[in-house]
Amino acid sequence: MSKKIAGTAAILLAAALLIFPRQASEGASAGIATCLGVLIPSLYPFLVITVFLIKSGISSAIGRRIGRPFARLFALPPTAAPAILMGMIGGYPTGSRGAEALYESGELTKEQAERLVLFSVNGGPAFICTAVGLGFIGSVQAGRFLLLVHLLSGLAVGVLIGLPHHRDAAPPPCRTKWPSAAKSLLISARDGASSMLLMCCFVILFSTFLCILQRFFSGTALAATASVCEVTLGCRTLASVHAPLWCFSLVLGWGGLCVHLQVLQGLSFPIRIGKFFLCRALQGGIAALITLPFQAQFASKPPLPPVIDVFGSFAQSHPEFSGGTAAGIALVILCVALLIDSGGQHDSVV
């Protein structure tokens, strides 16, 4: 059934690409620009640092010194502390790469790695404070408040899902011989590059179709659709319809399907997709509830000039890069390949 749904979706999306080649080209160009100018510079260093800390054994040493509070809060081994911290400040996919590296190093079980992924999907401070707060809402204070609420709600989800597991929080047996610093750096750089390539594919894909969707939706309908699919465009369209602050908290906690695919791609341990989406909705709901009593303190300000996305899959369109049918056909091939590959991976983890 899942393959039939994926196949039908691929055919419909391919038709949309061929019917609207100009919009598809503009969306793809915007996605590529976001990857080269925003996504790679802001996320790649954090991915490399996170994996390096774990592969080199530094994470284990740090965890033994500062990891006990994290172990008590989240029922995870102390060595998970650096990955949790990097997941809070590094941007949405960074926490999942930390969990993946800890699992590959033998420092987390499959169940522990899954729980770490479930609550380590957080936007970075630069994106929330600068792009959302200052750029979209027009208030630095609102951005800082959204960041605080966002992190608190993520930590709350981690505490809640860790409650039943405090008796089995001991780490599994792990290796004591770590690679040299040079080899660890090489592994980390290669791992980060591979992850970035897949992330950029999803960013370009979502940017393409969101640009096409703008022909059919506007106002509140576009804001709702974009918020489900992609966090940057969702927050931007929420600001354009003067949505209340709790809506921004909800969208930031949810993260968007584009971020979800970036987080889930390439994981070597099983993760329950339904539980993942439930935790994303739970974090968004908790953040929205916390925001409600305080939103009147952050009055709306006139919108500022457009800012460059700090993280996300949608930037301003660039008509000068627009192509024609050839670009649409190329995007069809990319789309079908990604959908088939993603479908095969997700069938194995549901």
Is the pLDDT at 122 greater than 60? The verdict is yes
Mean pLDDT value of segment 337-341:
46
* Greater model confidence, 338 or 216: 216
Structure tokens at 257: 């399907």
Return d(Cα 209, Cα 216) in angstroms, integer: 11
Q: What are phi and psi of 324, to 5 degrees?
A: -135, -140
Strand residues in 43-198 grouped as ranges (E): none
- The whole-number pLDDT of residue 305 equals 44
- The whole-number pLDDT of residue 321 equals 34
Token pair 């056909």 is at which residue?
Answer: 329
Token pair 């010194």 is at which residue?
Answer: 65
φ/ψ bin of 65: left (φ > 0), alpha (ψ from -120 to 50), beta (otherwise): alpha
Residues 185-244 have pLDDT tens digits of 888 898 888 888 888 888 888 888 888 888 887 788 888 988 999 888 888 889 889 999
- The whole-number pLDDT of residue 165 equals 79
pTM: predicted TM-score of the whole model, two decimal places: 0.77
- The whole-number pLDDT of residue 152 equals 95
* CA-based radius of gyration for the chain: 20
Q: Which of 10-19, 160-169, 267-276 has the lowest mean pLDDT?
A: 160-169
CA angle 219, 225, 230 (to 5 degrees): 115
Categorize the per-residue pLDDT at 247 as very low, low, confident or very high, splitting at 50, 70 and 90: very high
Return d(Cα 335, Cα 15) in angstroms, integer: 11
Is the pLDDT at 325 greater than 60? The verdict is no
Mean pLDDT value of segment 303-310:
42
Report long-range pairs for 330-333 (Cβ below 8 Å, ≥24 apart).
331/17, 331/24, 331/28, 331/208, 332/13, 332/14, 332/17, 332/18
Is the pLDDT at 287 greater than 90? The verdict is yes
Q: In whole numbers, what is the pLDDT of the chain averaged over residues?
A: 79
Residue 55 three-state SS: helix
The sign of the CA dihedral 204, 209, 214, 217 is negative
Mean pLDDT value of segment 279-307:
79
Residue 171 three-state SS: coil
Residues 34-56 have pLDDT tens digits of 788 777 887 788 888 888 888 88
Q: Which of 62-66, 122-126, 234-238 has the lowest mean pLDDT?
A: 62-66
Is the pLDDT at 349 greater than 50? The verdict is no
Residues 155-191 have pLDDT tens digits of 999 999 998 876 665 555 555 567 788 888 888 898 8
Categorize the per-residue pLDDT at 117 as very low, low, confident or very high, splitting at 50, 70 and 90: very high
Structure tokens at 110: 């499959």
- The whole-number pLDDT of residue 36 equals 86
Q: Which of 253-262, 290-299, 319-328 has the lowest mean pLDDT?
A: 319-328
The sign of the CA dihedral 166, 168, 173, 175 is negative
Return d(Cα 137, Cα 150) in angstroms, integer: 16
Structure tokens at 236: 């931007």
Categorize the per-residue pLDDT at 88 as very low, low, confident or very high, splitting at 50, 70 and 90: confident
Residues 254-279 as b or e (16 or more Cβ within 10 Å = b): bbbbbbbbbbbbebebebeeeebeeb
- The whole-number pLDDT of residue 310 equals 38
Contacts of 270 (CB under 8 A, 6+ apart): 110, 114, 348, 349
φ/ψ bin of 261: left (φ > 0), alpha (ψ from -120 to 50), beta (otherwise): alpha
Is the pLDDT at 1 greater than 90? The verdict is no
Among 82, 61, 62, 78, CA closest to 70? 78
Return d(Cα 22, Cα 91) in angstroms, integer: 31
* Greater model confidence, 71 or 175: 71
Categorize the per-residue pLDDT at 301 as very low, low, confident or very high, splitting at 50, 70 and 90: low
Is the pLDDT at 345 greater than 60? The verdict is no
Percent over 90 (pLDDT), the chain: 22
First CA to last CA distance, the chain: 13
